[in-house]
Amino acid sequence: MFNPTPRQFKVIRALLFVSALLPALRLLVAGFTGGLGANPIEFITRSSGDWTLYFLCIALAVTPLRRLSGWNWLIKLRRMLGLFAFFYASLHFTTFLWFDHFFDLGEMFKDVVKRPFITVGFIAFVLLLPLALTSTNGMIRRLGGKRWQWLHRSVYAVALLGILHFWWMRAGKHNFEKPILFGTIIAGLLLVRVYFAWRNRSAGVSQARAKVQKRQVTPTPT
């Protein structure tokens, strides 16, 4: 089983960091060289939205991958992947706030309230905020592992809302190919978790049963 040395792990992490930045760098370079097409703002909005979903999928894939491969060190990369999802979501939201509304918060909130697909996307972004803010070791300690884990499970809601946001965005054009693809991947990643939880529970139950049976057959010392 592959288990990187601390040095190898650092290299892996650095490579992952740089590759996760590539989509943003690509936008930056294309922005300066006129490579964003006829409607650059639309391009940035779509690209950042897509990459938010990609990183949500990748971050959600860590746990199943870790369990299937036994590569426990993967877990140490999950925070970075989650924060990249937040980074691209922020880029997506900022583009909306800046270039669509020019920081007119009143107009923005009108849009958020009036249009369900924006409402859903906005809620997903707001739900990501506490997750990003509590991503430090200090916050994990302060919250306590159990509570921290409970809070961070809201990423499941974020993923589902993200898919819904994308789905409704495409609904007008009946163009569901990509939302279906993303939806299937997210559904798969969540179902794997349901399966793991169910197996854990039944494993727990049979263990408990075994314990009870063991107690029954073991004569009690008198």
Partner 1 sequence: MPLYRRPNGFDLPFASEITPQEIFESRRSFIKQIAIGAAGAGSLLQWTGGEAWAQTGDGQKLAAKANPAYVVTDKATSFKDATTYNNFYEFGTDKSDPAENAGSLKTRPWTIAIEGEVKKPLTLDIDSLLKLAPMEERIYRLRCVEGWSMVIPWIGYSLSALIKKVEPTSNARYVEFTTLADNRQMPGLRAPVLEWPYVEGLRMDEAMHPLALLSFGMYGQVLPNQSGAPVRMVLPWKYGFKSAKSIVKIRFLKDQPRTAWNIAAAREYGFYSNVNPDVDHPRWSQATERRIGEDGFFTKKRKTLMFNGYNEVASLYSGMDLKKYF
CB of 115 to partner 1, least distance (A): 5
Which one among 9, 73, 148, 168 touches partner 1, defined by CB under 8 A? 168
Q: Of 42 and 144, which CB lies nearer to partner 1 in the complex structure?
A: 42
Stretch that binds partner 1, among 16-24, 55-63, 171-179, 199-207 (CB under 8 A): 171-179
Amino acid of residue 218: T
Which one among 172, 215, 216, 222 touches partner 1, defined by CB under 8 A? 172
Which one among 99, 148, 156, 167 touches partner 1, defined by CB under 8 A? 99
Q: Is 192 in the site for partner 1 (CB under 8 A)?
A: no
- Rounded distance between C-alpha atoms, residue 147 and residue 141, angstroms: 10
Distances (CA, A) of 195 to 48, 153, 199: 31, 16, 6
Contacts of residue 37, defined as CB under 8 A and 6 or more positions apart, other chains included, come to 43
Q: Of 71 and 117, which CB lies nearer to partner 1 in the complex structure?
A: 117
Q: Is 32 in the site for partner 1 (CB under 8 A)?
A: no
Which one among 7, 174, 214, 215 touches partner 1, defined by CB under 8 A? 174
Find the DSSP H helices in the chain: 6-33, 40-69, 75-95, 105-114, 116-133, 137-143, 145-152, 154-171, 177-217
Stretch that binds partner 1, among 6-14, 56-64, 133-141, 165-173 (CB under 8 A): 165-173
Q: Is 40 in the site for partner 1 (CB under 8 A)?
A: yes
CB of 97 to partner 1, least distance (A): 13
Task: Count the alpha carbons within 13 Å of 146 in the hemisphere toward its beta carbon.
Answer: 0
Label each residue of 33-95 as H, E or C: HCCCCCCHHHHHHHHHHHHHHHHHHHHHHHHHHHHHHCCHHHHHHHHHHHHHHHHHHHHHHHH
Q: Using CB under 8 A as the criterion, which residues of the chain lie in contact with partner 1 when the complex forms?
A: 37-42, 99-100, 102, 111, 114-115, 117-118, 168-169, 171-175, 177
